Amino acid sequence: MEVRLDGKVVLVTGATQGIGRAIAETAARSGAEGLMITGRNQQRGDAVAADLAAMGAPAAFVAADLGDPDTPALLAEACIGRFGRIDGLVNAGALTDRASFVDADLDDWASLFAVTPAPLSS
C-alpha cells in the first residue's frame, strides 16, 4: 500500500535522526509539499532539511527542546509562518537517556515525560 502526501504540510518532531528522520524522508518521497522538522541539534537539523529539499520536498528546521512547554506553540507558529498550515503532525521526538525501572529516579522519569509535547492548540 502506498500512502501519498501530495500537497500536504507535515511537522515532524525528532526528525534529525532515527525514526523521526525516516518518517520525514518517507514523507518527502511521498510528495509532501512542505516539511517542518525539529530536533535539538542545529547542524544535524540543517543537514537533514537540506537532504529533504534535495529529495524534492521543501523543508525547514527549527532547533527546539520538547521539554520546554512553549515549544509546541513555537513549532506550530514556525510551520504556519513558513508553509501556511499544518496538515499532519508526527511526534517522534524522544530522549535517548536510559535507566532501568529499578534504577531510574524521579528526575529520570520527569525528563523522559517532559519531551512529550502538549497539544498544538487548546
Q: Residue 80's domain spans which residues?
A: 9-114
H or E element at residue 108: helix 106-114
Does 41 reside within a domain?
A: yes
Nearest-CA neighbor of 34 among 83, 81, 84?
Answer: 83
Q: Return d(Cα 93, Cα 14) in angstroms, integer.
A: 4
Q: What pLDDT score was predicted for residue 69?
A: 84
> Is the pLDDT assigned to residue 122 strictly greater than 50?
no
Does 3 reside within a domain?
A: no
Q: Helices 42-54 & 18-29, crossing angle to 10 degrees? A: 20
DSSP letters for 45-90: HHHHHHHHHHTT--EEEEE--TTSTTHHHHHHHHHHHHHS--SEEE
> Is the pLDDT assigned to residue 59 strictly greater than 80?
yes
Q: Return d(Cα 83, Cα 87) in angstroms, integer.
A: 10
Give the domain CATH number at 25.
3.40.50.720
Does 87 reside within a domain?
A: yes
What's the total number of domains in the chain? Answer: 1
> Is the pLDDT assigned to residue 94 strictly greater than 90?
no
Lowest mean pLDDT among 67-71, 85-89, 106-110: 106-110
Does 1 reside within a domain?
A: no
Q: What pLDDT score was predicted for residue 68?
A: 84
The predicted-structure confidence for 41-57, as pLDDT tens digits, reads as follows 999 999 999 999 999 99
Higher pLDDT among residues 34 and 105, named by residue: 34
